[in-house]
Amino acid sequence: MARWLLNSCVLLLLAVSSLQARLILPQSLDVDGIQLETKGAEALHYASVSPRVDDNSEGNYRLPNTTAPEAYDVELWTNVHSGLREFNGTVKIDLQVLEETKEIRLHYRQTWNFTAEIISRDLAQPVVIPLTFTNESTREFLTFTPEDTALSFAANTNWTLTINYTGILRTDMGGFYYSSYTDDDGTVHYLATTQFESTNARHAFPCYDEPARRATFNITIHHDSSYTAVSNMPVNETKSSSGVTAFQTTPKMSTYLIAFIVSDFESTTGELNGLRQRVFSRKGKQDQQEWALWSGLVVEASLAGYFGVPFALPKLDQAGIPDFSAGAMENWGLATYREQYMWWNKENSTINLKTSISNIIGHEYAHMWFGDLVSVKWWTYLWLKEGFATLFSYESNDIAFPEWDTYQIYHVQDYNSALLNDALTSAVPMTHYVQTPSEISNRYNTFSYAKPASVLYMFKNAWSDKVFRSGLNKYLTKNQFTSCDEWDLFASFQEAANENNLVLPTSVDNIFSSWSHQAGYPLVTVTRNYDTGAITLKQERYLADKDSGNSATWYTPINFATASNPDYRNTSASHYLLNVTETTITDVQVSSDGWLLINKQQAFYIRTLYDEQNYLLLADVLNSEPWLIHHRNRAQLLYDAYIFVTTSRLSHRILFNLLAYLKNEDAYAPWSNANTILTVFDRYLRGDDSYYNFRTFVQRQIEPVFDKIGVNEIPGEHYLNNYLRIITVSLSCQVGYVDCYTRSEKKLSEYLFNGVAIEPTLRTQAYCAGLRSPSAEIYSRVKSDLLSSTDATDRSLFITSLGCSGKADQLAEFLSLSLDTANGLSYSERTSLLNSAYSRSEDGLTASLLFLETNWEAYAKLSETVKPLDLALRGIATYVVSEKQKTRLNALVEEVKSKEPSYLADNLETVIDSRIQANFDWLDVHRDPTFTWIEDHLAEKGSGAMTMPLATILISALALLLSHLF
């Protein structure tokens, strides 16, 4: 499946919303970016795994191996067109008995009224044997035994088991479920659809619901004649009639990949290389399906070409479902999506969404091979399908749309997210056994998606694309229509390596399993001997706590770029760290005054820590000739340095020496990482008397790229400039770059008053940036738009943007809207206004405190049940970074407590104290070294704008004055 924001990871408006989210809450970098496929609410926690044994013991959730399914006939009756949820069905299973047994055990979930019988397929004149059943709801076993208890099933016999049952379409978006949409006329249209991964096929029909129990399926659906049904396979025309749709027989496949949709959807059709593709969704949205269709055609062709294995089924469809829990689902031949991850049009949708849609399609289509054609033996190897799907979501897009440079997006999303999450002590290995449905759904996380994608990408580079691709071709060809574990994959890689004469230090089994069987990844520490030219590489597991010693080792591929050989094209491994903690390399030519860089293109899944002298050499080249360092290495040098500074492995001096090259930078990935770092510093330093120096430093860095790409899209520009501009506009305005204010205000004003359209991609930034220092006219226009808008998305945009203002009077006016219960805003909208202000800037925080000092009583009365004042005070505490604001917040809490303690929860003060203390702790470590470096740097550059601008001082003074008046 495709992950995404849903819970943690949802991405849709991916870049836009995540950048926005970072501005609002950059408390720590350890946020899981965005994942597309989550299963169930637990999916975000990395539950600790206790090792389990796969045996037949009492607690075992696995089906016995005594019988095996070969073919299913599934026949279903639904009247969903009229909104009815009841359905019934018959499933006939051809099965083989492998070991003598008295019972046949299947899975079921939330189905009833079973009647069953079985008949031999081996005898010429078989008799029907009636069956009785028992069911066990915890393990979801449905067990059939002959009514005649003397009978048992002999080994090597063949049978057809028939079960009749009834069910109810679910409303929780799992199994065979119920969904609906309302058309423009207000008419409600019902539909029935499916989502089976991981363990929900058993809800639509009793079955052997484990991925390795592959069988063929004939599906027949009875429905109203005004509706249509689609499934994995094309319609079997001869067996279908009005109100009955029968589908052709599938190849042997896993139950969780079956899908069917009964609806009145409309579709658009295309064809490429003889493969027909259709996109289905609710009526009236055909104009929005075009991008998914086009993208689907070229992405499928890219994948089939890369693997050298054609798509296995006669047709491929995609459908957008009104209610859908995951991001998307790779049902074989019928991928399903959330509607908003499928619909796109030029007028209203962002470039980021366009990229995301193709990326999600790349993910689901890659599953057509990895997961569908070759499935996993068990959920232990979930990464064997999700890792490939994640990697090929990028690779397929890189082939189909090479001008996108999509691996920069990979770098800042999945690669960064894997490195962050896999550094936690709670990280789990890619390969580990799970058994119960809830354990299985816990596996849909970074360690099954982003990490394996990063590890696979590493070996694609370390062994060369040629070997990797040939290995995949062998794996897919040899194992098609069967189920595999990781050793099957490794065997194919080994074969490809041998055929291509790739010399490896040990077997692929050893190399790869050192990555799949242990959590974490290496921190490679590089120490150069500047006299002899020798390089010592040390490896250990990278953990945030540098003193928690550990001796984990990997077979780690290594390669180098150097001052005398800055060539990044060949990313294969020139050396390996051989599962040892330390090694010395003497055969890399690097002069003592030349820089050394490990991990060309940042293709390997490691962090690298250099000695300080080498960092200074790298900083020099970044400042003078940045193009000598690959852009993804530039991105990672910054990020790693930042991570090392926050974990006390590296000095601030090095980090800022590196950051100071940004004035020469115009690529997306480095700026994306830089933005993450600078946004964190901005959030903590904004209350400081020396903040102005930080702003000056950042302004100097961002000015050149801002001046170059501006606030408007430029026809023909690099695709990723669309992404870059989102960052440069918001960051340069965040740090008060005047050009950003004026140009953004002009852009917004031309839209508001002259109807000049804003590009959808830039809408969020245009509003916030345009309202940083707006005229009264613009501000009140957006405010009145907020009050008159009927669109919740627009209102949310207006609310977050109005909080961007740095003007006290405007903020006061804005915040007062929260008290006006008659203004048409909902309660949750009204109570989001404060957050929009205090999270954005020191001015916003001051305005929020001022507002509550005056109005706390009225604010508290907005709700009797949820204590809005208490929540607001907690939220504010998160952003308090100065003694002055701390004093003020504490005084306010004291006042409320003395007058109306019931407005506050008991633990409020403890929470406030600990939040503020956390901020002060950060400042204790980072403030002085940061300002020392920046002040030296500014002095050196000969323009120490060391004082606050007069206006800022006046505003602060006024705020203080006002606060004292009340």
Ligand X SMILES: *[C@@H]1O[C@H](CO)[C@@H](O)[C@H](O)[C@H]1NC(C)=O
Binding site for Zn ion (CB under 5 A): 1, 386, 389
CB of 212 to ligand X, least distance (A): 7
> x/- contact string, 134-163, with ligand X (CB under 6 A)?
----------------------xxx-----
122 binds, among ligand X, Zn ion, none (CB under 5 to 8 A by kind): ligand X
Residue closer to ligand X, measured from CB, 156 or 780: 156
Contact 144, 131 (CB under 8 A): yes
112 binds, among ligand X, Zn ion, none (CB under 5 to 8 A by kind): ligand X
Find the binder of ligand X among 17, 90, 267, 574 (CB under 6 A): 90
* Residue 70 falls in the annotated catalytic set: no
CB of 14 to ligand X, least distance (A): 39
Residue closer to ligand X, measured from CB, 62 or 466: 62
**Would you call the peptide bond into 198 cis, given omega within 30 degrees of 0 as the criterion?**
yes
156 binds, among Zn ion, ligand X, none (CB under 5 to 8 A by kind): ligand X
Residue closer to ligand X, measured from CB, 88 or 854: 88
Read off the amino acid at residue 335: A
Give the count of beta carbons closer than 10 Å to the beta carbon of residue 937: 18
54 binds, among ligand X, Zn ion, none (CB under 5 to 8 A by kind): ligand X
Nearest 5°: phi and psi at 216? -90, 155
CB of 872 to Zn ion, least distance (A): 40
- CA-to-CA dists, residue 232 to 247, 360, 850, angstroms: 8, 19, 61
Nearest 5°: phi and psi at 710? 65, -155
62 binds, among ligand X, Zn ion, none (CB under 5 to 8 A by kind): ligand X
Contact 261, 193 (CB under 8 A): yes
Burial 205-243 (b: 16+ CB within 10 A, else e): bbbbbbbebbbbbbbbbbbeeebbbbbbbebeeeeeeee
Question: Which position has the token pair 């009797």?
Answer: 864
Residue closer to ligand X, measured from CB, 164 or 527: 164
CB of 244 to ligand X, least distance (A): 11
Q: Which helix H or strand E contains 694, and what residues bound it?
A: helix 691-709
579 binds, among Zn ion, ligand X, none (CB under 5 to 8 A by kind): none
3-state secondary structure of 676: helix
N-terminal to C-terminal alpha carbon distance within the chain: 56
CA geometry: angle 783, 786, 790, nearest 5 deg: 160
The torsion of the CA quartet 62, 50, 432, 484, rounded to 10 degrees, works out to -10
Residue closer to ligand X, measured from CB, 50 or 57: 57
Contact 213, 255 (CB under 8 A): yes
Find the binder of ligand X among 24, 27, 71, 77 (CB under 6 A): 77
- CA 75 to centroid of chain Cα atoms: 37
- The pair of structure tokens assigned to 234 is 């094309």
132 binds, among ligand X, Zn ion, none (CB under 5 to 8 A by kind): none
CB of 145 to ligand X, least distance (A): 18
Q: Is 56 in the site for ligand X (CB under 6 A)?
A: yes
CB of 150 to ligand X, least distance (A): 20
Residue closer to ligand X, measured from CB, 7 or 157: 157
Question: Which position has the token pair 């057509």?
Answer: 368
Q: What's the CA gap between 610 and 616, in Å, rounded?
A: 10
| Binders in 98-137 for ligand X, by CB under 6 A | 112-113, 122
Name the catalytic one among 364, 395, 665, 842: 364
Which range binds ligand X by CB under 6 A, 61-69, 99-107, 535-543, 558-566? 61-69
CB of 99 to ligand X, least distance (A): 10
Residue closer to ligand X, measured from CB, 68 or 578: 68
CB of 303 to Zn ion, least distance (A): 14
- The pair of structure tokens assigned to 279 is 């996109």
In this structure, the strands spanning 575-578 and 555-558 are antiparallel
77 binds, among ligand X, Zn ion, none (CB under 5 to 8 A by kind): ligand X
Read off the amino acid at residue 541: R
Measured in residues, the chain has a length of 966
- The pair of structure tokens assigned to 163 is 């079960």
CB of 113 to ligand X, least distance (A): 4
CB of 57 to ligand X, least distance (A): 9
Spatial CA neighbour of 449 closest among 476, 415, 482: 415
Q: Tally DSSP H helices, then E strands, for the chain.
A: 30, 28
Residue closer to ligand X, measured from CB, 307 or 378: 378
1 binds, among ligand X, Zn ion, none (CB under 5 to 8 A by kind): Zn ion
Q: Which helix H or strand E contains 270, and what residues bound it?
A: strand 266-272
Find the binder of ligand X among 30, 41, 45, 54 (CB under 6 A): 54
96 binds, among ligand X, Zn ion, none (CB under 5 to 8 A by kind): ligand X
Q: What's the CA gap between 880 and 873, in Å, rounded?
A: 10
88 binds, among Zn ion, ligand X, none (CB under 5 to 8 A by kind): ligand X
Spatial CA neighbour of 586 closest among 552, 560, 551: 560
389 binds, among ligand X, Zn ion, none (CB under 5 to 8 A by kind): Zn ion
CB of 381 to Zn ion, least distance (A): 13
Residue closer to ligand X, measured from CB, 86 or 147: 86
Q: What's the CA gap between 270 and 295, in Å, rounded?
A: 11
Question: Which position has the token pair 């430093």?
Answer: 697
Find the binder of ligand X among 88, 101, 579, 963 (CB under 6 A): 88
Q: What's the CA gap between 623 and 617, in Å, rounded?
A: 10
| Binders in 189-248 for ligand X, by CB under 6 A | none
- The pair of structure tokens assigned to 521 is 């990844």
Which range binds ligand X by CB under 6 A, 53-61, 585-593, 751-759, 794-802? 53-61
Residue closer to ligand X, measured from CB, 89 or 371: 89
Which range binds ligand X by CB under 6 A, 6-14, 57-65, 366-374, 806-814? 57-65
Contact 194, 293 (CB under 8 A): no
527 binds, among Zn ion, ligand X, none (CB under 5 to 8 A by kind): none
- CA-to-CA dists, residue 528 to 273, 475, 657, angstroms: 54, 41, 20
Residue closer to Zn ion, measured from CB, 19 or 361: 361
Residue closer to ligand X, measured from CB, 96 or 952: 96
Which residues fall within 8 angstroms of residue 950, CB to CB, at 6 or more apart?
none
CB of 362 to ligand X, least distance (A): 32
Which residues fall within 8 angstroms of residue 117, CB to CB, at 6 or more apart?
128, 129, 130, 131, 161, 162
Which range binds ligand X by CB under 6 A, 58-66, 636-644, 860-868, 925-933? 58-66
CB of 249 to ligand X, least distance (A): 16
Q: What's the CA gap between 853 and 890, in Å, rounded?
A: 11
> x/- contact string, 160-179, with ligand X (CB under 6 A)?
----x-x-------------
Which residues fall within 8 angstroms of residue 537, CB to CB, at 6 or more apart?
524, 525, 526, 558, 577, 582, 583, 584, 585, 598
Q: What's the CA gap between 195 and 859, in Å, rounded?
A: 44
Residue closer to Zn ion, measured from CB, 376 or 786: 376
Q: Which residues are catalytic?
A: 364
The site for ligand X (CB under 6 A) is made up of: 54, 56, 60, 62, 64-65, 77, 88, 90, 96, 112-113, 122, 156-158, 164, 166
